[in-house]
Chains A and B, each alone.
Chain A
């Protein structure tokens, strides 16, 4: 029986195997479908919500959750559910953009360092050693001091702060990949450096980077919400989740729902991203499990 299933799994492509493992992974399916629903709800927010997320309506202020306002209203009389749904359009990219910046730049630097070795490697990796010594949030604060506050700037700042983690991961993989027989064969056949990197080295690097990036999404949403909460990103009345919490913090005493719903939304999003990340890691590379 074991032999039969081995034979069969050898016959299907690695891509199909990963998809099958993902499909069977409970944690991935729960996390991923939750994320899909959250993204869909945020995209459809203007059509779904009858209330304007920004317009002040003092007659409706501080209404507890009820039929008209399932999440209640805030100190300005704005419907919190509408704000949370619209806010996804600002808060969800916080999970993706910084990670994409860090992963792409970090991977390129790591591949270059690992492939060329010698002084190129030495310079890039010593800079990475120094970069990694800065706690990411503090590095992001320093970058925001240069770029100024704003939603785009904190995404760039977090991206810059996380680059060296991807550089280290990519370099490690390249160094082991470059010794493989097929790379030597390609070189012997006269392939150019660029071609070897793209065709033979990159595919090896992609899996660990993808796993790291997926695990990074949850972290990025948390860090982004925190920087927004500090007032460095979106500014009130924008319905960004962290900004909503900062904006309403003095009023939580008057209405618990003002603090509860944006926070639970962040937690659910991060939980879903963590579940999806765990599942993807196990499916792509079971060896990486800690």
Chain B
């Protein structure tokens, strides 16, 4: 187990390094530099611009700049926003919790809706229930989340006044998390169904039935267990999609978060902020998948790390 962890980490570190390099070069490709971007806010003379470029090290060769960027990151310095000159690390820290909260809530909703729907379809395979369940899932993956969000706001917040979309606590989180989680629920439903249909044909399920266990116990204690790992894997892989979806959903609900931060930054061409958010998102994705891999061993004792 320890050896596996070391190996897995050894693979993760170069990927994280690669992500950083890619993000650095993406910004290096943007026409114009930070000083040009500042010109949209304050007027500088050619001399002042040249001096500022020297101060910021923008005249140095790219590799030197890359080295400095990596060093700064290591110290937690993500650079400064072109607009307002706020430290990017501070902006990210201030907005990260809201996005994580939304993403986790969407995952919970996806599991609460998707897994039972998939299990129902599998247990009642080839019946009307199965067909209905899978049709709901198909609609779920086809509906744009941002549009669903707009409609939910209209119906539940503006129309019926049941749920707020601003304020603190869990209640304002329900509608955006639902809008973000529905597509994920649909994917989990399809996956759960496919795995449970297989599992229900296995010998250990037949044995459990032969022992006279009731249907609920057979389904949840025996057949469902074998679907936990694929579901976990899918959730890990889909974490990136959820983060991307959160960018859009935050804008729909005008929620604070990395999504609204990065969208504004892209429109303003605020490169350091885009750079920071994309870097943090990719790193989170890599680390979550590392975590999922490690969790396998606890979930399925048959897996041995060698």
Contact = CB atoms under 8 A, between A and B. Distances in A.
B138 A274 contact: yes
A275 B278 contact: no
Interface in A121-138: 126-127, 129-131, 133-138
Interface in B18-74: 18-19, 21-23, 26-27, 29-31
A259 B247 contact: no
Given A127-B18, A270-B142, A138 B262 contact: yes
A290 B271 CA distance: 40
Given A135-B243, A136-B244, A126 B18 contact: yes
Contact of B267 (A142, A232, A242): A232
Interface string A92-136: 000000000000000000000000000000000011011101111
A274 B147 CA distance: 18
Given A146-B26, A271-B142, A274-B141, A252 B248 contact: no
Interface string B191-212: 1001000000000000000000
Interface in A256-290: 256, 259-260, 262-263, 266-268, 270-271, 274-275, 290
A218 B30 contact: no
Contacts of A134: 19, 22, 240, 278, 281-282, 285
B247 A133 contact: no
A263 B15 CA distance: 38
B245 A137 contact: yes
Interface string B228-254: 000000000000110111011001000
Interface residues of A, number: 47
B75 to A, nearest CB: 23
A277 B37 CA distance: 44
Given A135-B241, A245-B146, A259 B151 contact: yes
A48 B15 CA distance: 53
Given A253-B154, A266-B147, A133 B266 contact: no
Closest 9 CB pairs of A and B: A137-B244, A130-B18, A135-B240, A263-B147, A271-B142, A270-B142, A135-B244, A226-B248, A133-B282
Given A145-B269, A242-B146, 16 more contacts: A129-B18, A133-B15, A133-B240, A133-B285, A135-B243, A137-B241, A138-B277, A141-B247, A142-B278, A226-B144, A226-B248, A252-B154, A256-B154, A259-B154, A263-B150, A274-B138
Interface residues of B, number: 52
Contacts of A253: 154, 158
A289 to B, nearest CB: 8
Interface string A140-179: 0111111011000000000000000000000000000000
